[in-house]
Every structure is written in structure tokens, then in C-alpha cells.
Structure 1
Amino acid sequence: MSLDKLKLSKRLHRSMNDLGYFTAKEFQLQTLSRIVGGHSLIGIAPEGAGKTTTYILGALMRLKYTHDEAPKVLVLAPNEERVNDIVERFKIISANKDLYIMGLKASGSTEDEIIDLVRGVDIVVATPNRARAVYLKLGLNLNRIQTFVIDDAEEIIKQGMSTPVRELAQSCGKVQYLAFSTVEHDKLHLMIDDFMSLATVIEIDELGEKTVETHELMLYHVPNFTTKVNLLNLLMRDEEVFDKVVVFVNSRLTAQKLSQSLHAKKGEVTVLNPFFHDNAGIDDINDFKQIPECRILIVANEGTTDIDLAGIPFIFHFEIPESGDVFMEHVAKTNDEDVIAITFATDLELPEVKKLEQSLGEKIPVIPLPEELVIYRPSNAPKSKQKVDESQGGAFHPKKESNSKTYNYGGGAKAKMTMKNKKR
């Protein structure tokens, strides 16, 4: 589809052509007009779908060039490398020397950055933690923000930065919110629903061509690691069906811990190449195949290659392999045997599942969780603090009124004062 369908300005159209882009992607066709129209939007699409280019084009088309000190666009990204990539992409696509785009470092002193922000900037790109730190020092003015962007939302969630995202978003006025992710899951909505509950969700699935024949694939979407253990225990109760099972995990330590968490009869569970030499285990998968009473073999992907899965009717991926090639080796159909490959995935692992589906060229069917499964729900209730008896005295005493500090300059105010002093 021609770029003309995006209705870009002549300058942006020329920039895109200069960069070698002559056609529009499906994600851009479905989302750009909404972004330019000022709608809040949640965009779900795989890597390479054009999410970053889309919101950059949208933000630039909405941006009105004035000489305000406060930024008009704030983009949050998961790490400094990604921040630098986005800043560079903005500069290349905008091709506007008068546009001031600033990326904040992920660590180090904030003083110089605050001085630059006070001088005036149009677009700020930062990690959530850094943006929050500068904002709390009054160095980042959110009063004029027009567009608030969360890029690679799944990675931001994975790195535990949901709270600063919510705090920054709720500190803005009436703005356009844009969130982009490879997957939509509960943790994403937990982060954004307080300020994006009415946003339009647009999801694009772009699967590659199917290049390999696989065993029958199934996916269980579970909330956490403990529920994975509960689910595996529940399924393994059926000894007649699950008579020979190989369970893949990512590390030998996890393999050892999982073997101790399974409620099986003595001799039913074993580990290939156990982490500790004094633990029961085997060194060859053929030994597992030849022992009738041993029906569950736990294998760590770490340090394991060329494993012969012939004759194994059930393959479980308790964790998503760190390499997609490892997963493909496990599920590739090499004979006429009927094999079922079952994968367990949490919200944080769903982006990796999406990548696997792109490589496979097909969706992995999601299986409903069994009704009798015990879902582990960790308690987040805060512990109550004991009330201090002030009558007994203590190390802290309130200041006298005459000594109390009644002012507190933020980083932005201090930066302005510094600039004024330098001019004198």
C-alpha cells in the first residue's frame, strides 16, 4: 500500500522516501489517522510492524512548533539504548533543525539535564524511572504535554517500572495517551487502565510463512511460577495418559527445584544431568525410556544439546527457552509419532510466545485452565506499622517553629536561578 494512504505532510513524505520507505504497513494504516486525530490508543503488534515509526509520524504531525520551554511530547522507553534509538529516529524522520529532541540518560547526575530542559525542549524521551526522578526535582514540566507515549510496554512491565509510568501519566493534564506492546495481557492493563480505560485497542497479527511441520501445540496461560507447578502436578495425576513425559526448563537449578516440587511416587521423577552429583538423576535419556516406573524426566536447556525425543508422547516447556531455535528443535515433527507439545507461559513470557509464533508461522492454541487448578495469588497486604509512644521520648524531636524551613526549591527553579546568576 502506497505511503499516500497515510496522508503525510510533504516534508514527512519526503523524509520517509529518503529513508527508503515507499509503502505503508498494515499497522500504520489502521492507527496513524487515529493518532493524528488525537485519540488515545493501545497498539498491539509484533516486532517489525512499524509501531515506533507510526507514533513518531503521528506526534510530528500533531506537534505545533512554538517556543515554549515545556515539552509537548513525552516518550517512555525501557532502557537507555532504546531511548537513544528513538531520539535518533525522531531526528531523522523530522528533518527539522528547529525541533529540539532530548533523550535523558538512565543514570547519573540530573543537574545538567535539568538545565537543558529549563532552556526549552519539544520532545523528551526517557526511561520511566529517570523521567520520574527529574519530574520530582521539578525539572520536567508536564503541564504542556500533548502526547504521552509508552513504547515497548511489555519490556517496561518486565523491568518493574509500571509504578513510575502510572505516576507520570496521572501527573499530566488532559493529554493523548499512546501505549505500544507486542502482547496484551493483565499486567499491561494493570499499568494503564487508570488513565487509558477508554482507549481504542488495535491489534495486528503478522505471522511469517510456515517453514516447519510441528507436533500438535498447546499453550496454557498462567499467572505465575507457583501456578505452573500446581498445573503440572494436576496434569501428572493422570498416570495412564502421561506415562512418559519430558519437561524442559531453562536452568539446572530450576530442574532440581521442580523435581522436588512434584507430588509423584518414588522413582517416577528424575532429572537429566542433575545440578548436584549426590541427587538422584540420569545421564542419558535412553535410560529414562527403558525404566517403566520412571515417567517424568526434567531436562535443563542449559548445556543440553541434541536430545533424542523419539518415543516421548508428551513434551512440556515449563519455561520459554531463551533461544527460539531450541524450542523449534523440540517441537519439529521428524517422524509419524503422535506427540503433543505443551507450553506454560506467564504474562511476562507472552512476548516470547509471540516471537515463537512468528517463527512458526502459526498461532499456538490456548487451552482453558482446568477448573480444579489452584491459582496461587500472593498477598500484597502491607504490614501495619506499630504506633510509637511519643511520651517515652526518642531520637527524633520536632523542630522549633523559628528553625523550620518554609521553602523548598525544585531542580527546575534552581536551574533557572543558576542561569540568572551566570548572566550577571
Structure 2
Amino acid sequence: MSLDKLKLSKPLITAMTDAGYISAKEIQAKTLSRIIGGQDIIAIGPEGCGKTTAYVLGVLMKLKYSTDEAPKVLILVPDGERVEAVIAEFMRLSRNRNLRIIGLYGTGGMEEDINILLDGIDIVVATPTRARAVYLKLGLNLNRLQMLIVDDAELIVKQGMQLPVAELARSAGKVQHLIFTTVVHDKLNMLTDQFMNFPFATVEVEELGSAEAETHELLLYQLPNFKTKVNLLNLLLSDEEVFDKVLVFVNTRLTAQKLGKSLRTARPGDVSVLNPLFFDEEGFDHIDDFKESPEARVLIAANEGFSGTDFSGIHFIFHFEVPEEKELFLSRVVKNNEEELVAITFASDLELGEIKKIEQAMGKKIEVMDLPEELVIDKAVKTAAKTKKEDDDLPKGGGAYHEKKESNSKNYNYGIGQKAKMNMKKKHS
């Protein structure tokens, strides 16, 4: 899309051209008019789709020159590296403008930052914890704030910084709120519900890789927490005829030990751990030993101690936790032989961002499965989900428990062979 379609000022078009931009991104085309018009938005898109540039352009279009000491824009990001990256983008696109901007992050003294703020600032880019600390020291004046922007919102939630974001948003009063994120889920909705202005717009774009990878069969279950993941794994593994030889991946050996003790076993040796932490635990030192053991049916392996990818003789692998490195996930699911394999992933709200990155790398979406009716969901989360659904006044969309479109509703599952398909179909009908 041509840059002219964004209806930017001539200086901004020139700045974008000088910075190397030759066309507008979809997220920019869908959000800029709303940003300039003053509407609250939640913008959802993968890494690299142009979210940061979208709000930088919006701010530069709206921000008028003034000599006020109090900032007009507060931008909250997860860490110091993102603070510097956002400031750099502002500098690239405002070369012919006297823009007063400051970055707040770190854990040291804040006297210098407060002095700069008191001299007069237009834009503050900060981590939520640092911004809140400076605000409580009376160094950050929010009385003249016009825009509050939360970038990489899913990472801010993942790092547990919802409280300072909510406190700053409430302290700022009635301002325009812009939320940029790779994914929306219940935990993020619980944060934004506290301060978003109604009605707000939700804008979503998807940019998958141009080449689609050839993978084994992939399934995804969206689950609220560890306990519910255990419940689902126990439920699925209860069908010993289908799940006859299974490999379950977690991120650490400690989690492998915990999960091994949480799974129900029909007989001794049914569930074991690869390279167990303690000598008295059921386990194997090598995956080949597991394959050759007729008694062993489920092997739990930690990503941190697993280097092999030979899944011959194993028909199902579970990613009980999403690997921290997407390359590790891809190395297991991309086809390199003719052997049939189903890779089932359990993802919590906080892991959905990693799923988006994996899908982007593969060039395709992972099939999202309905939760079985007989699945026991953790009580606290179940209550929260029920309250969310019953409250018609709350904004809709995005969470792991949102109401599905009819076209996306599934009452079937996939497996290896007709028997697996039929057996798993019964579990989800």
C-alpha cells in the first residue's frame, strides 16, 4: 500500500521515505485514522508487522508544539531495550522537529530523570515499574496527558506488571488508550477492562511467513493453568489404545519431576521421566531404552536436557509447555521422514504469544481444538471465565475462552489411523 494512503503530513511522508519506508503496512492503514480520530484501540499483530511505527506516526500527527512542562504522551513497554527502540523510531521519523522525549527504565537513582521531566517533556517512554516509581516521587505529571500507549502488552502481562499499568492509567484520567499486542487473552482483557474507554475498536492483522512448512499433524489446546493441563493430559492418556507410546515435553527437569508425580498410572512403569532428578524415580537415561521397554508408555522429557529428535516408534508428542525457543518446537514438528506423528500442544494465556511466533515461522495456523466436556478446569479460573461470559457489558474477543464462530466450531479431533480419529471424536462430541 502506498504511503500516500495513510494521509500523513508532507514532512512525515518525507521522513518515512528518508528512513527507508517504501510502503505502508496493513496495521498502519487500519489504525492510523482511528488514532488520529482519538478512539481507543486494541491492535493485534505479529512481530514485525509495523505496530510501533503505527503509533509513532499517530503521535507525531496529533502532537502539537507547546512549552508545557507536563508530558502529553506516556508509552509503556516491557524493558529498557524496547524503551531505546521506541525512542529511536521517534527520532528517525521526527528529524525536522524539536521533540522532547525521555526514556525511563532501570533501578538506579531517579533524580536526574525527575529534573529532566520538570524542565518540560512531550513524550515519556518507560517501563511500567519505573514510570510508577517516578510518579510516586511526584516526578511524573499526568495532569496534561492526552495519550497512554501500552506496547508489547502481552509481555507486560507475562512479566506481571499489570498493577503499575492499571494505577498509571487510572491516575491519568480520561485519555486516549492505545494497546498494541501480539495476542489478546483473558489476563490482558482483565487489565484493559479497568481503564479502556467505550466503545473501543479491536483491530487485528495476521502476517504469516510466505513459505508454508510441511509439518506433522499439529493440534493446539488453550488452557488456563498447570493444573488444568494435567487434567487434560490425564484425560487423553486414559485411552491407552490410542496413546500407546507417548513423549511429553516440558521446559525443565523440575517440572518433569512434578508432572510425573501428577499423572495417574494404571500400572508400575507406565509413566517415567527422562534423566530423572533423583535416583529413586521411574526413568530412563536414553530415549531408546524407553522405546524398547514394553511396560513404559509415557516418557516425560525436559527441553533443557533433550537433544535428540528421533521419534521413530512414537506416534504422539505433547508439548505440555511451549518451548522458549521456537526453533526447538519447529525442529520436532517439521517433517523429515514419512513416519506418522501427531504433535499436541497445551498453551496457557501467557504462552499464546509464543504460539503466534511459531505460526508465523511455519507460515500456517495450528488447529485449535475444543476442550472436552468432561475436562475439569481449575475452579478459580472456571469461575472467572463464567463471570466474563455472563457480563454482556464487557468487551468481547481474543481470550482462550471466547465464544467461537460457528464456522470454527469443531466436534472432531485428529489422530493416527481411523481408530484414533473415532476414539478421539467421542471425547469431543
| TM-score for both structures, normalised by structure 1 | 0.86
Q: 1:254 to 1:297 in 2, by over 3 A?
A: same
Once the two structures are TM-superposed, the CA of residue 284 in structure 1 deviates from its matched residue by 2.3
Q: Which residue matches 2:401?
A: none
Residue 48 (structure 2) pairs with residue 48 (structure 1):
yes
Structure 2, unaligned runs of 5 or more: 382-429
Counterpart Cα distance in 2 of 1:39 and 1:307: 49
AA partner of residue 156 (structure 1): I
Counterpart Cα distance in 2 of 1:91 and 1:137: 28
Q: Which residue matches 2:327?
A: 325
Aligned alpha-carbon RMSD (Å): 1.5
Q: Which residue matches 1:171?
A: 171
Structure 1, unaligned runs of 5 or more: 380-424
Give the number of the structure whose alpha-carbon radius of gyration is greater: 1
State whether residues 36 and 62 of structure 1, in contact with CA within 8 Å, keep that contact through their aligned partners in structure 2: yes
Q: Which moved more, 1:258-267 or 1:68-77?
A: 258-267
State whether residues 309 and 331 of structure 2, in contact with CA within 8 Å, keep that contact through their aligned partners in structure 1: no
Residue 368 (structure 2) pairs with residue 353 (structure 1):
no
Q: Which residue matches 2:143?
A: 143
Once the two structures are TM-superposed, the CA of residue 97 in structure 1 deviates from its matched residue by 4.6
Q: Which residue matches 1:274?
A: 276
User: Residue deviations 1:20-76, cap 9 Å, x none?
Assistant: 001001111111111111111100000000000100000110011111111101000
Q: Which residue matches 1:407?
A: none
State the aligned residue count. 379
Q: Which residue matches 2:405?
A: none
Q: Which residue matches 1:129?
A: 129
Counterpart Cα distance in 1 of 2:306 and 2:114: 50
State whether residues 131 and 140 of structure 1, in contact with CA within 8 Å, keep that contact through their aligned partners in structure 2: yes
Structure 2 counterparts to residues 150-229 of structure 1, below 5 A: 150-196=150-196, 198-229=199-230
Counterpart Cα distance in 2 of 1:98 and 1:28: 24
Once the two structures are TM-superposed, the CA of residue 275 in structure 1 deviates from its matched residue by 2.1
Counterpart Cα distance in 1 of 2:362 and 2:89: 30
Structure 1 stretches of 4+ moved >6 Å: none
Residue 52 (structure 2) pairs with residue 65 (structure 1):
no
State whether residues 154 and 182 of structure 1, in contact with CA within 8 Å, keep that contact through their aligned partners in structure 2: yes
Partner of 2:20: helix, strand, or coil?
A: coil
Once the two structures are TM-superposed, the CA of residue 278 in structure 1 deviates from its matched residue by 3.5
Partner of 2:281: helix, strand, or coil?
A: coil
Partner of 2:305: helix, strand, or coil?
A: coil
Q: Which moved more, 1:47-56 or 1:128-137?
A: 128-137
Q: Which residue matches 1:256?
A: 257
Counterpart Cα distance in 1 of 2:199 and 2:163: 20
Once the two structures are TM-superposed, the CA of residue 286 in structure 1 deviates from its matched residue by 2.3
Identity %: 60
Q: 1:236 to 1:347 in 2, by over 3 A?
A: same
Partner of 1:207: helix, strand, or coil?
A: coil
Counterpart Cα distance in 2 of 1:297 and 1:92: 52
Q: Which residue matches 1:395?
A: none
Once the two structures are TM-superposed, the CA of residue 362 in structure 1 deviates from its matched residue by 0.6
Once the two structures are TM-superposed, the CA of residue 329 in structure 1 deviates from its matched residue by 1.8
Q: Which residue matches 1:339?
A: 341
State whether residues 106 and 126 of structure 1, in contact with CA within 8 Å, keep that contact through their aligned partners in structure 2: no
Partner of 1:195: helix, strand, or coil?
A: coil
Structure 2 counterparts to residues 31-46 of structure 1, below 5 A: 31-46=31-46
Counterpart Cα distance in 1 of 2:302 and 2:105: 38
State whether residues 91 and 101 of structure 1, in contact with CA within 8 Å, keep that contact through their aligned partners in structure 2: no
State whether residues 219 and 366 of structure 2, in contact with CA within 8 Å, keep that contact through their aligned partners in structure 1: yes
